[in-house]
Amino acid sequence: EPEVTQTPSHQVTQMGQEVILRCVPISNHLYFYWYRQILGQKVEFLVSFYNNEISEKSEIFDDQFSVERPDGSNFTLKIRSTKLEDSAMYFCASSEAPGGRETQYFGPGTRLLVL
């Protein structure tokens, strides 16, 4: 069964450093998403991406964040100048079509710890 993969599984970084979280969505999917879950809190939507541009983004997704599809397979989330409060589990997801009519398939997540 096809699956979404994410690397690395864990990342530890110093405050102020840049991190890039990588995702490989399911190959025939066209819509890509990033979510995060701060420990003990709800899963929060960050951004959706389609046709090489951002479709929607939440209030959390400020100028510190950026997404990119650098090639035909990867989908990345870059966090510039990380802050302590960026420590969370970051989930990538992909779907064939937007909307609730198609389920989103989630990756296993990258646990980011900012020290």
Partner 1 sequence: DQQVKQNSPSLSVQEGRISILNCDYTNSMFDYFLWYKKYPAEGPTFLISISSIKDKNEDGRFTVFLNKSAKHLSLHIVPSQPGDSAVYFCAAFDSGTYKYIFGTGTRLKVLA
**Residues that bind partner 1 in the complex, under the rule CB under 8 A:** 4, 6, 35, 41-45, 48, 55-56, 58, 91, 93, 98-101, 103-109
Q: Which is nearer to partner 1, 53 or 101 (CB)?
A: 101
Q: Which is nearer to partner 1, 74 or 102 (CB)?
A: 102
Count other C-beta atoms under 10 Å from residue 57's C-beta. Answer: 16
Minimum Å gap between C-beta 81 and partner 1 is 26
Minimum Å gap between C-beta 71 and partner 1 is 22
The whole-angstrom separation of Cα 115 and Cα 98 is 36
Radius of gyration (C-alpha) of the chain in whole angstroms:
13
The answer to whether 50 and 32 are in contact (CB under 8 A) is yes
Q: Which is nearer to partner 1, 13 or 44 (CB)?
A: 44
Residue 84 has φ and ψ, to the nearest 5°, of -55, -40
